[in-house]
Amino acid sequence: MVEVTLWCSLSAAPGAKCKLDIGAKDIRELFRKLSEKYPAFEPLIDHSIAFAIDGTICRDTQSNRYTIKPNTRLKMTARSFRRYTNLAATLRILRNRCLTLLSPETWDDKNDAFFMAEYKRLMNVKSVLAICLAVREETYHHWQVFSRGADGVCIEFDADKLLEAFDHAAGIRHKIVRYELLQDVRTMNDIDVERLPFMKRWPYGDESEYRAVYVDDKVQKASYDVPITIGSINRITLSPWLAPALVPAVKETFKSLQGCSNLKVYRSTLIDNPQWKKLTGRVAMPIVP
């Protein structure tokens, strides 16, 4: 049997549960059985779902078929990554065709920053840099914490293309972050040092983070660029707090950059959505006798 954990929006599919036990020999059989049990998954299987084994997102192709071992624990999530950032950083990404990994020293989560610093010390390396992405749908939490204000931007990447970029970048390791309860951490012993960059406390679990970490054992660096293509970007979403009158100018600026004319750029309607508001027009008032 395979223990399958459905992440993010997948767990909200009609009839779905957060955790499932399913018997399957490989990923294709698992997907087929999921489609049979939960028809809502069927249109997502080929294009919208990624799976992770022990924190590593895997890609199942005709030339690389994944066989499932007994008692495997597997996570399934939407097949896109979101980078919450600001307008200046977005312009740099689009102009330079790269994602920049930076030092964790200034991170707000001091527990996380400490783990990264200890990893650097224990591994006796000169540089440990990182970048964090979200593997879930747009949420108010992400905008407030990571891209608060009118200049916030969310860049949605195709997961397969971004994973390929990470795979081809020297010195990069990348995984889904695991969120652990403090009561469980107290009983942990002989922890693999390679887990440190990919562990966080349970209360941060809403982030649903995927992390890329760069390690250099010889040279101290302040930043490290991972080359990407514009084609790896599915869409760019502007801040829900950006004044509508300013949106056209921002769109025009992005699209004027070389190779960016076909970018999909939208303003988030998370906090002010016309379709949501229309619901009040379909209210059924009680009949007064």
Question: Is pLDDT above 90 for 289?
Answer: no
Listed in sequence order, the DSSP H helices in the chain are 27-37, 87-96, 110-123, 140-146, 159-168, 182-185, 247-256, 274-277
Which region among 65-74, 188-197, 270-279 has the lowest average model confidence (pLDDT)?
65-74
Q: How many domains does the chain have?
A: 2
| Mean pLDDT over the full length of the chain | 85
Residues 124 and 61 in one domain: no
Is 154 part of a structural domain of the chain? Answer: yes
Is 276 part of a structural domain of the chain? Answer: no
Is 280 part of a structural domain of the chain? Answer: no
Is 287 part of a structural domain of the chain? Answer: no
Residues 171 and 104 in one domain: yes
Residues 214 and 241 in one domain: yes
Q: Which residue has the higher pLDDT, 21 or 43?
A: 21
Boundary (domain end) residue, out of 78, 102, 117: 78
In three-state form (DSSP H/G/I as H, E/B as E, the rest C), the secondary structure along 210-272 is EEEEEEECCCCCCEEEEECCHHHEEEEEECCCCCHHHHHHHHHHHHHCCCCCCCCEEECCCCC
Residues 262 and 147 in one domain: yes
C-alpha–C-alpha distance, residues 56 and 132, integer Å: 15
pLDDT in tens, 94-117: 999 999 999 999 999 999 999 999
Is 218 part of a structural domain of the chain? Answer: yes
The boundaries of the domain holding residue 29 are 2-78
Which domain CATH number covers 73?
3.10.20.30
Residues 117 and 49 in one domain: no
Residues 194 and 64 in one domain: no
pLDDT in tens, 115-158: 999 999 999 999 999 999 998 889 999 999 999 999 999 999 99
Residues 149 and 74 in one domain: no
